């Protein structure tokens, strides 16, 4: 029997064009919009290393329809959204398809996202666009392209961009619902994105004193925004990594909550990446394996803890904003509902984030679940009873997103949750 490394690569019935070194100078790389606040900084990181990355912001039924034309509707909903954005960009006239490449994120592990890239290539073939290269972005280098290489410094800047993005998102979500002058919060986010991108070009703001000074200055700037003393319904958002952040994937959930007089909290992206390293450590504890790999994951997790602490210090010393729970405490919180060995989909992280939100005062929690992500559905709905037993005041609202779901019906489910919240607040 062949070992895993002895299997031959998958062969296609059509040619797969590589992203060449020459294409780095001539092609735009079209990326789907996954993390609305973070993607601007990540785009800047790619561009400063010569890759003309463009983050796509198309939304609406026409984008989903384009995805459905290319991908079978039995596939998971995030794939339809991601592919829809990219294929729509190639066909709407905004870009020259022969001067474009697509990029897909391959996660590895049990998530079908690792296979998205093959389905996108097949969709391009069926449309007669075999000439469009599809680049794989993966920490484990599942695939390689001759003209695309992630350097160690790009990884460092990308991870630091995640930290800054998390802080900006956290502060934006707590300030914008109360700002006295509309638009001031978003303008401040854009301003700091520009400042950080400029520092990255000079290899500054990444570590040490300048990094910590930036964090403190960001918190002070948001704390200084004039705010109205008004009451809002506090709502937490958890779920699958794509639909809980992406406006296309969740039908503009954040904008809808804004219209319903809510303040919403979305957990940061950093805990998701820390979970990847924690899961490798858990695997070693349960099944054994390479001690060298275990050491690498422990080292990376320690480094992230230090970065996490720097953000926590800035929030604690400069303001009274709600602060994310340290990762080690988040793990302990998750273990109240689910063992850390359960890691398919968001795994144990999902109920841990629900518990964190409830303890921070966001007891009305929307769990955004996409069609086709079976682990996410099982974990979210399977742990709901335990969470309600631990937190009797929890107001949980699972929302199933898919291409055939009525936006009105989804919004009505959320309105029902908000009505229950208002009734409970009125009874207090």
Tell me: do 254 and 385 sit in the same domain.
yes
Structural domains of the chain, count: 2
Q: How confident is the model at residue 54 (pLDDT cuts 50, 70, 90)?
A: very high
Query: Is residue 310 included in any domain, yes or no?
Result: no
Query: Is residue 218 included in any domain, yes or no?
Result: no
Tell me: do 114 and 249 sit in the same domain.
no
Tell me: do 261 and 128 sit in the same domain.
no
Question: How far is residue 377's CA from residue 345's CA, in Å, rounded to a whole number?
Answer: 9
Q: Structural domain of residue 27, as residue ranges?
A: 10-150
Beta bridge partners of 376: none
**pLDDT for 233-251, tens place per residue?**
999 999 999 999 999 999 9
DSSP 21-56: TTHHHH-EEEE---STTTHHHHHHHHHHTT-EEEE-
Given a contact cutoff of 8 angstroms between Cβ atoms, the answer to whether 342 and 348 are in contact is yes
Query: Other CB atoms closer than 10 Å to residue 320's CB: what's the count?
Result: 8
**pLDDT for 84-138, tens place per residue?**
999 999 999 999 999 999 998 876 666 777 778 888 999 999 999 999 999 988 7
* Last residue of one domain, picked from the residues 99, 123, 150: 150
Query: Is residue 316 included in any domain, yes or no?
Result: no
pTM metric for this prediction: 0.92
Choose among 133, 57, 120, 117: nearest CA to 92: 57
- 119 in the Ramachandran plot: left (φ > 0), alpha (ψ -120 to 50) or beta? alpha
* Last residue of one domain, picked from the residues 133, 150, 167: 150
Beta bridge partners of 235: 264, 364
Query: Is residue 175 included in any domain, yes or no?
Result: no
Beta bridge partners of 53: 29
Tell me: do 112 and 242 sit in the same domain.
no
Q: What's the pLDDT score for residue 391?
A: 95
- 347 in the Ramachandran plot: left (φ > 0), alpha (ψ -120 to 50) or beta? left
> Which region among 9-13, 78-82, 370-374 has the lowest average model confidence (pLDDT)?
9-13
Rounded to 10 degrees, the C-alpha dihedral 107/113/117/121 comes to 180
Task: Please work out, in degrees rounded to the nearest 5, the angle formed at the alpha carbon of residue 235 by the alpha carbons of 232 and 238.
Answer: 160
> In angstroms, what is the C-alpha Rg of the chain?
22
Tell me: do 140 and 240 sit in the same domain.
no
Coil, strand, or helix at residue 205? coil
Question: How far is residue 370's CA from residue 402's CA, in Å, rounded to a whole number?
Answer: 6
**pLDDT for 133-173, tens place per residue?**
999 887 666 678 899 998 889 989 999 999 999 999 999 99
Question: How far is residue 328's CA from residue 25's CA, in Å, rounded to a whole number?
Answer: 44
Q: Which tokens belong to 219?
A: 């918190």
Q: What's the pLDDT score for residue 139?
A: 66
Question: How far is residue 361's CA from residue 357's CA, in Å, rounded to a whole number?
Answer: 6
Query: Is residue 366 included in any domain, yes or no?
Result: yes
Tell me: do 377 and 240 sit in the same domain.
yes
Query: Over 50: is that where the pLDDT of 1 sits?
Result: no
Which CATH number covers residue 137? 3.40.50
> Which region among 107-116, 237-246, 257-266, 370-379 has the lowest average model confidence (pLDDT)?
107-116
Helix or strand run (H / E) with residue 256: helix 253-259
CA atoms within 13 A on the CB side of 425: 15
Given a contact cutoff of 8 angstroms between Cβ atoms, the answer to whether 351 and 383 are in contact is yes
* Last residue of one domain, picked from the residues 132, 150, 168: 150
* Longest pairwise C-alpha distance within the chain: 68
> Which region among 90-104, 221-235, 342-356 has the lowest average model confidence (pLDDT)?
342-356
């Amino acid at each position: 029997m062949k070992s895993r490394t002895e299997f031959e690569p998958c062969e296609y019935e059509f040619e797969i064009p590589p992203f060449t070194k020459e294409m780095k100078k001539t092609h735009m790389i079209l990326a789907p919009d996954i993390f609305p606040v973070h993607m601007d900084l990540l785009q800047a990181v790619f561009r400063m290393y010569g890759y003309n990355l463009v983050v796509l912001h198309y939304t609406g039924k026409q984008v989903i329809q384009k995805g459905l034309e290319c991908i079978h509707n039995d596939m998971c909903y995030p794939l339809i959204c991601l592919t829809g954005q990219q294929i729509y960009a190639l066909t709407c006239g905004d870009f020259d398809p022969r001067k474009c490449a697509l990029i897909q994120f391959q996660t590895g592990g049990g998530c079908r996202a690792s296979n998205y890239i093959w389905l996108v290539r097949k969709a391009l073939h069926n449309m007669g666009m075999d000439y469009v290269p599809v680049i794989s972005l993966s920490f484990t280098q599942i695939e390689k392209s001759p003209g695309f290489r992630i350097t160690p410094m790009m990884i460092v800047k990308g991870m630091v961009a995640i930290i800054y993005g998390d802080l900006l998102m956290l502060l934006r979500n707590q300030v914008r619902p109360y700002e006295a002058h509309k638009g001031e919060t978003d303008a401040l986010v854009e301003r700091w994105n520009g400042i950080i991108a400029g520092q990255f070009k000079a290899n500054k703001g990444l570590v040490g004193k300048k990094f910590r000074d930036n964090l403190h200055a960001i918190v002070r700037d948001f704390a200084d925004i004039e705010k109205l003393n008004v009451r809002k319904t506090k709502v937490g958002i958890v779920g699958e990594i794509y639909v809980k952040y992406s406006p296309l994937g969740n039908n503009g959930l954040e904008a809808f909550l804004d219209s319903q007089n809510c303040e919403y909290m979305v957990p940061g992206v950093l805990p998701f990446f820390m979970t990847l390293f924690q899961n490798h450590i858990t695997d070693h504890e349960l099944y054994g394996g390479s001690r060298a790999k275990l050491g690498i994951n422990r080292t990376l997790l320690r480094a992230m803890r230090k970065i996490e602490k720097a953000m926590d210090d800035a929030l604690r010393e400069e303001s009274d904003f709600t602060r994310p729970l340290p990762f080690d405490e988040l793990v302990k919180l998750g273990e109240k509902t689910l063992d850390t060995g359960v890691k398919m989909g968001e795994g144990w992280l999902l109920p841990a984030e629900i518990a964190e939100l409830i303890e921070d005062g966001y007891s009305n929690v929307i769990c955004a679940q996409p069609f086709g992500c079976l682990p996410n559905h099982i974990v979210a709905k399977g742990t709901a009873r335990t969470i309600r037993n631990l937190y009797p005041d929890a107001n949980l609202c699972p929302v199933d997103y898919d291409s055939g779901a009525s936006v009105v019906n989804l919004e009505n489910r959320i309105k029902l949750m908000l009505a229950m919240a208002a009734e409970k607040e009125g009874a207090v």
